[in-house]
Each structure stands twice: as C-alpha cells, then as structure tokens.
Amino acid sequence: MDNVDSLVKRLEQLDDIGASLSGERDIDRLLGKILLAAKDITHADGGTLYTVAPDGQHLNFRIVRTDSLGIAYGGKDEAPLPSHFKDLPLYLEDGQPNDHMVAAHVALTGETASIADAYEDRRFDFSGTRRFDASTGYRSTSFLTVPMKNHEGEVIGVLQLLNALDPDTGAVRPFTQGDQRLAESLGSQAAIALTNRLLMGQLEKLFESFVELIDTAIDEKSPYTGGHCARVPELTMMLAEAVNSNTEGPLAGFTLTDKDRYELRIAALLHDCGKVTTPVHVVDKATKLETIFDRIELLATRFAALKAQAQADMWRAVAQGEPEASARVRCEAQCRQLDEELAFLRHANKGSERMDDAAVRRVREMAERYRWVDDQGREQPLLNENEMENLTIRAGTLTAAEREVINHHIVATIQMLEKLPWPKHLARVPEFAGGHHERMDGKGYPKGLTREQMSLQARMVGIADIFEALTAADRPYKAPMKLSQALKIMDNFRDNGHIDPDLYALFISHHVPQRYAQKFLSPAQQDC
C-alpha cells in the first residue's frame, strides 16, 4: 500500500510532469517524456508507448524502455525501433476485436488492465512476452496497461508499464491502486497534451499548405519566380544554421530556438508573396521590347516594309529611265543597311550588355531617319516613344517605371503580411520577410532601413535572396552564373554596404555557397 506522504509526493510530481508536457512542441520528445514520467511515478522497470494509427486499425509501436536491460528505442534521441517490434492489430482478420492482446484490449475498451503476473494470467496472450524473456533472461511479471484518452474520451494511445519495483528493496511487485490512479491521471494529461500538439501540428501543416499555395500561385504565374520562392527558404535556413552553430566573432552569442527557426522559415517562404500582384510581362521580361509578346518582331515587319519600299523605289527609278544596274546597287545597299540596323536592334533588345552613349545615340538616329507606311497609308516613325524608351535602357531589360512595378512587390508583401493576425511565435514574420531589399547603408527599399534598424533574420533573408538570384539557372534574361562570379559580386555587396559583413563572413566560412550549390546548381556552375 502507498503511504500518504509517498502519494502526496507523487501527486506533486504529477503536477510538475503535466506542466512539462504542456510546454513540449516536439511529438517524439513529448512521447518520450510521457513514458519516462509514467515509469518514474509508478517505479516501473520498463514500459512501452503505443499510439492509435490514423486508420484506427492498429496500435503503432512508438517507444520501448527497459532500464535493467539497457533497452531504449524510439523517441527523439534514442535508436529507432528494431523491425521485430511490430504494430499491433486492433482487429483480427475476421473483423473481431483483438481482445487477446492486452494493449489492443485496453485501446478498444478504454479500460485499464493491471496484471500481477503475466505467467499466471489466463485472459491475455503473453506468448510474445515469454519469447522475449527466453531470449534475454528477463522475467516479465507485473503489467499495468493504461488507455490515453483525450478530452472527448477517445483513446489515442496506450501506456504499458512493466515490473513495478519496490522503492526500498528493488524487488518486483504488482502495481498498486495508487500506481494505477496516478498512471491513469498521467495518461489523461498526456493524451490532452498529445492531442493539443497534434492539433497544433495539423494547424501548422494547414498554414504551411496555404503558404505553399501562395508560392504555387506565383509558380503558375511565373515558373522563374516560383523556383526562387522555393530556393530562398532553403538557403536562408542553411545560413541560419551556420549562424546558430557559430561560437566565435561578433555573432557568437546569437542562437535560434526551434520556434525561431520556424518563424524564419515561414518568413523566407513568404518573402515574395507580393509578386502575386506583379504583372507577368514585367516579372518575366526577358527582352527590352517584351510585353505579352516580344515586339522586336513588329520592328522586323517594319524593316521588311522598308526593304519592300526600297525595291519599289528601285523599279520606279528604272521606269523613269535610270539604268537598272545602278538602281539595283543602290537598293541592295539600302537593304544591307536595313539588315544591319535590325541586327543591331535585335542585339540591343536582349539587354545582355550595357549600352554605351554611342549605342543609345544610334537607336535615336534610326528612329528619326526611317519612316514606314502603315496599313492606312499613314507615315509612321520607325520607333514610337515607348519602343524608344525600352530600346535605350542602359542595362537589363526594365524601364524605370517597370522597376518601380517590380519594387512594389515588396511593399505589397509587407502590406499583405501585416494584415494577418499572426500568433505571438510568428509575430516577426512581416519584418523578416519585408526587409530583404533593404541595405546595410540605408539605401535600400522600401523603408531605407540601416543595419542597426534591421533584425539579423531579415538580413539573412536578404543575403539568401541576392545569392539565389545571382546563381539561378531558370531566369529568361540571363545565363546561369558560376559560383566564383556570384561570390565576387557578393564580395562587392559586402564592401559597398549592401549586405551584412558579419553574416556574410559566416556564409563563407561555413561553406554555405558550396553546400547550396551541390543541392541546387549545375556541375558547370560549381567552380569553387
């Protein structure tokens, strides 16, 4: 029998266990705590924890512990369960309840089973227990099998405790009524804690599915930015782990908990969610003249019209008495020049090289020199104002107005994320996600924040965003960049106040670029 002092002490211990269980986020670690707590308060030498499978047809083996044999399988930090620990069927092949197995019986009935000596019990099949004992030299005697019921009275798991030990002598004894009441109370607390954790996990999975839904929408809208949205979180977390494992330098004291990592990952996943508002023809603008289609072909048609006009002029001159040979030479020279002009515009349209003053001047001179006649007989300049603006873009393919449209995606991201009712553990997602275009020197956008005004996490996303964009192989407007070239550009960004130098130092020293390259870049890009 339990004395009063012992029972009170164990009740106090049960309260402490309940508080510990309610604060645990990791399912495997939670299950381990449940079993160890049950063994502790009942003085059991061993124990097993099962959870009811999602299909409701089996008990899944999750954790096995036997102290005197040194057995510790399952849970968060122990070896995985060996293959001979099979799941227990709750029903036989004919559909009848599996009442011969004590754990299955308890799961089905919701009633505790306490057995003083398994070798003398006739209600349940302990043949497997006897085989285990024969192979190990163990003697399985007393069993206490307790259902884990959630707040709705539904059995979601089973605790099975083995061989209660007398606290004074260490001898194996039957489990007492006090043991049973404490184990049942713990089973209920554990079931509620487990249900809450599972529910939280389901809600987190649902939320992450919505996040992935947004990325899928961006992916469907633009496969290029969709790949970016998937890779930036991976790179961000690689950098975060490098920072977290660092023990030297100015960032040695910075650590990330599991909650911190989750918050950062969600922010990285959502860092470009505002791109759902950006027009596709701007996001994917591969050439200077591209809108819904590449307008360079319209220019080619105009040049064809100019060549046809040159040929018509040739025959008109011949008809007026000019020798055909001289008229043809002039026409062919005009056509060659038109071909050269079109070839120049095709090259300029790609935006792969920076345009100098001479190239810009040549485009403008063409626009003034050539005129073509439209289908209504009206004379038109070779280039309209919009075409002129696009073809004289100095670098890249975007006009100033289009860059503003692109840049607005970060404003849209911040506005979208700040409207959401974030729980406390995700409250900083808008700030982490919204700062990836800021610069350490305050020259970034949209808020012009300085390094001191930004969280370390936002600076991590910024580095990941830039490096992914430099090395991406799926952008229509540039060739894949080699690792060495990308790192030279990143070095310049570090030196000119664009990215955080301390974070970048860990980015390099922990070989994050190389590890990222092995996973996401082609072999041809991995040159350092």
- pLDDT above 90 covers what percent of the chain? 57
pLDDT of residue 297: 86
- 235 domain-assigned: yes
pLDDT of residue 455: 96
- CA distance linking residue 183 with residue 333, whole number of Å: 99
pLDDT of residue 477: 60
Quick one: tokens of 174?
Answer: 């039957």
CATH of the domain at 73: 3.30.450.40
pLDDT of residue 256: 94
Residues 356 and 461 in one domain: no
160, β-bridge pairs:
48, 145
pLDDT of residue 1: 46
pLDDT of residue 216: 78
Q: 79: which DSSP letter? A: B
pLDDT of residue 4: 56
- 25 domain-assigned: yes
pLDDT of residue 203: 85
pLDDT > 70? residue 321: yes
Q: Which of 136-140, 158-162, 307-311 has the lowest mean pLDDT?
A: 307-311
- 287 domain-assigned: no
Torsion of CA 402, 404, 407, 408, to 10 degrees: -110
45, 162 Cβ separation under 8 angstroms: yes
Q: What is the tally of structural domains in the chain?
A: 3
Query: Domain range for residue 50?
Result: 4-200
Q: Say if residue 80 is preceded by a cis peptide, omega within 30 of 0.
A: no
Quick one: tokens of 13?
Answer: 């211990």
Residues 153 and 74 in one domain: yes
- CA distance linking residue 403 with residue 464, whole number of Å: 21
pLDDT of residue 140: 96
Q: Tell me: the pLDDT tens digits for 250-284?
A: 999 899 998 999 999 999 999 988 888 777 666 66
Residues 233 and 159 in one domain: no
Residues 53 and 141 in one domain: yes
Q: Tell me: the pLDDT tens digits for 345-367?
A: 998 888 878 889 999 999 999 98
The pLDDT mean for the chain works out to: 88
The residue-averaged pLDDT of 20-39 equals 78
Q: Tell me: the pLDDT tens digits for 124-144?
A: 999 999 999 999 999 999 999
pLDDT of residue 223: 61
372, 312 Cβ separation under 8 angstroms: no
pLDDT > 90? residue 501: yes
Band the pLDDT of 16: cuts 50, 70, 90: low
Residues 325 and 274 in one domain: no
Give one DSSP letter per residue of 95-135, joined into a string.
S-B-TTSHHHHHHHH---EEES-TTT--SS--HHHHHHHHH
Residues 241 and 336 in one domain: no
Residues 123 and 189 in one domain: yes
pLDDT of residue 463: 97
Q: In 10 A of CB 18, how many CB atoms? A: 18
The residue-averaged pLDDT of 35-48 equals 91
pLDDT of residue 215: 76
Q: Going by C-beta distance under 8 Å and a sequence separation of 6 or more, which residues neighbour residue 218?
A: 225, 226, 229, 272, 273, 275, 276
- 516 domain-assigned: yes
Instruction: Of 15-24, 55-64, 81-90, 364-373, give the range with the top mean pLDDT.
Output: 55-64
Write down which residue in 167, 200, 233 finishes a domain.
200
Write down which residue in 349, 374, 397 finishes a domain.
397
Task: Pick 528 or 98 by higher pLDDT.
Answer: 98
pLDDT > 70? residue 177: yes
Band the pLDDT of 416: cuts 50, 70, 90: very high
Residues 191 and 240 in one domain: no
Task: Pick 44 or 205 by higher pLDDT.
Answer: 44
Residues 347 and 470 in one domain: no
pLDDT of residue 442: 95
Residues 46 and 22 in one domain: yes
- 217 domain-assigned: no
pLDDT of residue 236: 97
Q: Which of 85-99, 116-130, 182-196, 430-444 has the lowest mean pLDDT?
A: 182-196
- 408 domain-assigned: yes
The residue-averaged pLDDT of 12-41 equals 74
- Helix, strand or coil, per DSSP, at residue 162: strand
Residues 272 and 155 in one domain: no
Write down which residue in 397, 414, 447 finishes a domain.
397
- 317 domain-assigned: yes
- 289 domain-assigned: no
CATH of the domain at 423: 1.10.3210.10
The residue-averaged pLDDT of 27-42 equals 85
- Helix, strand or coil, per DSSP, at residue 166: coil
Residues 390 and 427 in one domain: no
